[in-house]
Amino acid sequence: MTAHRTQSAAAHGSRGRAPARAVWAATLAIGALAAGSGWAQEGERIIVSHGYSNFGELKYGPGEAFSYVNPDAPKGGEISLDAQGNFDSFNVYTRKGVPAGNTGLLYENLMIQAADDPYSLYCYLCETIEYPESLDWVVVNLRDDVTFSDGTPMTADDLKFTIDLFLEQGITEFRSVFAAYFKSVEVLDEGKLRFEFSEAAPKRERVGLVGFWNPFSRAWFERTGARLDESTTEPFLGTGAYILDSFDIGRRLTYKKNPDWWGADHPLNSGRYNFDTIRVEYFSDAVAAHEGFKAGEYTFRSENSSKSWATAYDFPAVAKGWVRTETLFNGNISNAQGFIFNLRREKWQDPRVRDAVRMLFNFEWSNETLFYGLYTRPYSFWGGSDLAAEGVPTEGELALLRPLVEAGLLDQGILTEPAVTAPVNDAAQNAPSRRVLRAASQLLEEAGWVTGDDGLRRNAKGETLELVFVENSPLFDRIVNPYVENLRRVGIDARLERVDTAQYVERRRSGDWDLVNQSPGQGFEPDTGLKQWFGSETADDSSRNLMALRDPAVDRLIDVVIAAETLDDLKPSVRALDRVLRAQGFWIPQWEKQEYWVAYWDMYRHPDTLPPLALGVIDFWWYDAEAAARLDAAGAL
């Protein structure tokens, strides 16, 4: 959980009033320590701040708007987006049902990050936070003007209720990791909450453990009887800029700006949340969605198909200038999109079998023939950053890896061999070379999978080496089917099963698959979330550790990463973890691009320079009413 910074209400006030709690906080900082507050050890300095950073100074001071927005962006208009599949719930916090898209618009976090400041958190629903240098506890001073979308005030009691709700009814992988970190969460008064941490809580994450909560209304939950672990067709009551306006299950939904939104004048919202309405249209698949965009059924499209980007944007609306296409920079860490193995199944627990399967995916041919040369291949879970393992281990990595080798948890080669990268194939043809076929066949033979008279490989029990890809998008057919052909060349009984969205969600959850897509890319400040992605304690029931990875070396390195308190400690520990995760071979990297491909009907605008960490379409883009009028006059839509 990346540490967040908070924005001080002492600087921006509450609807123009001098905030009483900020005055109290300043008084505490100046005088109360001398007398002792009862919360900090004698002589321990208490810090009162509008934000927090583990590494370096905060980029933004109290009351400063984010520099990458257009503070004069006009408000109004509609933007419409697409989604694929369907939905039957507005609860994204449960594994039951298929949640609707963009429900995050309804809620807000206590503290937020800037899209150009990856290491900082800023107070948003709070005015200030207070904490001792030991970070044994954090006190949150809430703003006194925050209201839920029904106009009722948001209080410390609502925030405490929300925390208890997640720790009691949240998904298993969350509770199993985070519940042990809090010694207590106490309401001090209507606008003040005190978090006390257990020794298990990593020091670097403690402010983040405070800032990432998005408050729900306690009164609403008690009135409706809703549960966090059940699907619902009525969204929970939040404080967000938007409220649900209308929906047609599985087809469309519309969010509209709350006219009484409490945060309209908050400095951190300057130039943000500019659209009056945000509409989401659902389509059965990407092909139907693209046709819907051409017909003007929705107006903004983020393209993720290289074939479509290379060939499908020559329709009349583009030629006439009604639709704009742009390639925009993406400065985020790679999302590490790939196939992952279901390690619950015995056949995939043998690394030799996984290696044989990995080497038969021909990315080079796929990129040249299917992707128009527009992609590169992911190589790391922190690709594109200085956290990725490169070449042979550095001295800092070796210091962490040697004890794991000595304990018999890692092979000796991890100390001397370059970090694992994906096998390279011939771009001229999909079929593997003789060398690759021989190498894959030898690995399978060594693992006990012998070719029978029918050409299929079987183990000693007579079971075929079956491999089922589960996908829900027809766009993957042209990519997966050539891979299936290569797997069958060495006797693997491979096939693609394409299912609808509901089946896809259920099969992923239940583990009824051999290979599925997953994007396990990580962030700039890795933390306890690593346990949800890769930790043994989440392997039994996780929406992130879908592969069910259980590895003691990985677990130990995760603990080292979490415990790192400086960048000098963090970087080598993350690189060592990256090196070991890649050596596990549970991930077959697919393809990636470090840019956004967007197309939109020419009525939207964005800042000239986008921040490195966000495209921000529904965050800080805006509607150009004059341009929309020109489209209307031309009969474009």
* b/e 140-154 (16+ beta carbons within 10 angstroms → b): bbbbbbbbbbeeeeb
φ, ψ dihedrals at 511, nearest 5°: 80, 20
Residue 26 has a pLDDT of 31
- In CATH, the number for domain 338-589 is 3.10.105.10
Q: Give 445's pLDDT tier (boundaries 50, 70, 90).
A: very high
**Which CATH number describes the domain made up of 9-76+97-224?**
3.40.190.10
pLDDT at 28 over 80: no
Both tokens of 329, joined, read 């920079």
Name the nearest CA neighbour of 256 among 270, 235, 271: 235
Q: Which residue ranges does the chain devote to CATH 3.10.105.10? A: 338-589
- Rounded distance, CA 21 to CA 449, Å? 69
Helix axis angle, 567-584 to 552-563, nearest 10° = 160
Q: Where in the chain is the domain with CATH 3.40.190.10?
A: 9-76+97-224
Q: What is the pLDDT of residues 274-291, one digit of tens each?
A: 999 999 999 998 899 999
Q: Is 594 helix (H, G, I), strand (E, B) or coil?
A: coil
Residue 24 has pLDDT above 50, yes or no: no
What are the tens digits of pLDDT across the range 210-267?
A: 999 999 999 999 999 999 999 999 999 999 999 999 999 989 999 999 999 999 999 9
Question: Model's pTM, two decimal places?
Answer: 0.85
42: confidence class by pLDDT, cuts 50, 70, 90: low
pLDDT tens for each residue of 482-498: 999 999 999 999 999 99
SS3 614: coil
Distances (CA, A) of 610 to 333, 620, 623: 16, 10, 17
Number of residues that make up the chain: 637
How far is the C-alpha of 381 from the C-alpha of 4, rounded, in Å?
22
Degrees to nearest 5, angle at CA 42 with 40 and 45: 60
* Max CA distance (Å), the chain: 86
Tokens 């995939």 found at: 348
pLDDT > 70 fraction of the chain, expressed in percent and rounded: 93
